[in-house]
Every structure is written in C-alpha cells, then in structure tokens.
Amino acid sequence: MKAVVVENVVKSYGSKKDLVEALKGISFEVDRGELFGIIGPDGAGKTSLFRILTTLLLADSGKATIDEYDVVKDFKAIRQRVGYMPGRFSLYQDLTVEENLEFFATTFNTTIRENYALIKDIYSQIEPFKDRRAGKLSGGMKQKLALSCALIHRPSVLFLDEPTTGVDAVSRKEFWDMLQNLKRSGITILVSTPYMDEANLCDRIALLQEGKLLSINTPAGVIGNFKQPLYAAKGSRMLQLLNELKTFKEVKDAYPFGEYHHVVFHDEAGVPPVASYFGASGVEMFPVTPGIEDCFMDLMKTNE
Ligand SMILES: Nc1ncnc2c1ncn2[C@@H]1O[C@H](COP(=O)(O)OP(=O)(O)OP(=O)(O)O)[C@@H](O)[C@H]1O
C-alpha cells in the first residue's frame, strides 16, 4: 500500500486576468515509511500541494489519496491520520508550551501521556520550559513544539512545510536528526524545503518548479543523471567573468556558486578551448562534482 498517491493534481488561484497556476498537473507516489522531500524555491507550489493533501484546500482537478483514503471523499478519516506542521508558526502564542500540546491532544481525543513515548525525544528538550508562552520561545524551540503538536495524535503520515526555514544551522541539523528517528518509528514523512542541502537527507526527492515536477528520484539518482562536464571558475573580476563565460557556445550555463561560478559545458569537447582561453588570463578553472543545486539549475534550464 502506498502512503501517498497524487495523480495529475491541478490548482489555480484567481481568475482569467490574474490567474496563477500553482500546480500544473502533479503526479507522484510515496511509499510507507519513506522520508520524501519536496524541494523547490518560494512560490513553487509546495504549500498548495500540502494543503490539498491535508484536506485544507480543494484541487481544481486530479486525485490524491493518503493511506488509500481520498482527500475529498474521506477528508474526516484523513484528518485523523495526518499530522501537519504548516510553514508559518501555527501555535497559540498566548498559550504555554504545555497548553499548546494539550490543546492539540484534546482536539484529537487523546492525551499527552498516551503518546508521550513518540514525542519524548523532541518534547523533552522543551519540557523544562513548559510554562513559558509559545510566543516567547526561540525559533528552534517553536519548531520543536510545533513538531510535537503535529505528532501528538500519532499520525500515519506527517507533512512538514518548510520546517527549517529561518532556523539556525544547529537547529536545522538537530531537526533532521529528529526526522531520521521518527522515520525509524515507521511514520511516513513528506517534508518541503527550499534548501538544496537538505535534499540529501531524504530517501527520495521531488524537484518542484513553478507548479511542475522536474524530477523524482533518490538524491544519488538525481545527481547520477547529471552527465555534462561541470567546472568551477574564479577570477579577479567575477561579474565580468560570468558574462563572458555565457558568450561561449560551448557553455550551456554559468551561474554564481559560493565564491566560484559553476560552468556547465554541453560536452567534454567544449572544455579545452574555453579552459585555455580563460587560463591565459589567469582564471582558475577545475572540474567539480555536481550537487543537487546544480541538477536543479540544469533541470530548470532544460525546462525553460
Ligand atoms: N490564496 C492565493 N491566492 C492567489 N495566489 C496564491 C494563493 N496562494 C498561493 N498563491 C500563489 O500560488 C503560487 C504557489 O504558492 P505556494 O504557497 O503553494 O508555493 P510555495 O512553494 O509554498 O512557496 P512559498 O514558500 O512562497 O509559500 C505562488 O505564485 C503564490 O503566489
């Protein structure tokens, strides 16, 4: 049984003149117990997709099921089965940590004690502050409380919409460690993120751009499909270098990447003439292994 099945889901907002096509026919499946990442920049359609799958928004067309329950017909059953941590902080700022958790537990007809074992690792880190109002917590602590609340009814499928956006690097790392532990307890997790480096921590990823899925694969599979030569380049005048690189017919794409530019060539034959031209003017250029971000850039370029 698949935990999530999405078939040709379409969602638009607005009307004719200012129509926004947020999802342009999305299809994918998620296996039970998988940690599945939806990777995409702002506005790609991640939130719309999650809201449809958690029964908070109706799609214009297409079909989706969670644990074989239909998101439209069986919305009540799905609400019992899914946990949802929305992108923006969704907790009651004026309630304390413990009151927030109790509120969510009561909504699902359960108690903190009944499911304490599931949230223990996460909740115990904020439990010393259980009398503090949620609005007074740090970003990382809010995130842990929101995750505890999304888990308190022991969901079968957990949806996390950009859980690490705006959270510091240490808390981000901790958060992903928590997800790996949750995965071990058998929960299916769908997590959206704009951070490419987090893609490597998922079992499989779907790359979403302007409402379209560009690729669905394991992180290694996505990288394995990148076959073109990729080089890093650095010179004394980086903007000029970037513009100049783009004028070569051998260069498929060039974009800033940290302190370097990444240069994608159409094929190996195109590398020597470009490398020797820039080598003569003191530009440093060497081959690099592609990462998810390079693959995403390339898929977007191809998709244009
Ligand atoms: N209620 C709405 N009315 C009109 N347009 C909307 C509405 N909600 C979303 N959109 C638009 O639909 C597109 C997809 O938005 P969505 O929030 O699903 O993407 P996202 O990947 O979650 O991005 P973000 O991280 O910025 O929320 C965007 O262009 C957004 O502006």
pLDDT tens, position by position, 131-143: 999 999 988 888 8
In whole angstroms, what is the distance from residue 142 CA to residue 168 CA? 12
pLDDT one-digit tens code per residue, 171-181: 888 889 989 98
Determine the Cα–Cα distance for residues 4 and 96; give it in Å rounded to an integer: 34
Quick check: CB of 45 below 6 Å from ligand 1?
yes
Cα 137 to the chain's mean position, in Å?
24
By most ligand atoms within 8 Å of CB, the mutation choice from 46, 58, 209, 210 for ligand 1 is 46
**pTM score of the predicted model:** 0.90
Task: Enumerate long-range contacts of 121-130, CB under 8 Å, 24 or more apart.
Answer: 121/178, 121/181, 122/147, 122/148, 122/151, 122/178, 123/148, 126/97, 127/97, 129/97, 130/96, 130/97, 130/98
Closest approach atom of ligand 1 to CA 208: 21
- Coil vs helix vs strand at 251: strand
In short, whether 42's Cβ falls inside 6 Å of ligand 1 is: yes
| Atom 1 of ligand 1, nearest CA residue | 13
Number of the ligand 1 atom closest to the C-alpha atom of 23: 14
Assess whether the C-beta atom of 163 lies below 6 angstroms from ligand 1.
no
Q: Does residue 257 sit in helix, strand or coil?
A: strand
**Confidence (pLDDT) at 89:** 65
- Do 152 and 119 contact (CB within 8 A), yes or no? yes
Checking if the pLDDT of 40 tops 70, the result is yes
Question: How much is the ipTM here?
Answer: 0.95
Ligand 1 touching residue 13 (CB < 6 A): yes
Residue 169's pLDDT band, with cuts at 50, 70 and 90, is confident
Residue with tokens 């951070």: 195
The pLDDT-based confidence of 15 (bands split at 50, 70, 90) is confident
Backbone angles phi, psi at 116, to 5 degrees: -60, -40
Highest mean pLDDT out of 56-60, 89-93, 135-139, 178-182: 56-60
CA of 211 to the centre of ligand 1 (A): 10
- Whole-angstrom CA distances from 114 to 22, 74, 102, 220 are 39, 26, 11, 39
Domain residue ranges of the chain, discontinuous segments joined by +: 2-223, 226-303
Instruction: Supply the pLDDT for residue 118.
Output: 86
- What architecture (CATH level 2) is domain 2-223? 3-Layer(aba) Sandwich (3.40)
CATH class of 226-303: alpha beta
What is the distance in A from the centroid of ligand 1 to the CA of 42? 8
Name 259's bridge partners.
none
pLDDT greater at residue 300 or residue 34: 34
pLDDT in tens, 235-267: 999 999 999 999 999 999 999 999 999 999 999
Confidence band (pLDDT; 50, 70, 90) for 167? confident
DSSP symbols for 272-297:
HHHHHHHHHTT-EEEE----HHHHHH
Mean pLDDT of the chain: 92
| pLDDT range class, residue 1, cuts 50, 70, 90 | confident
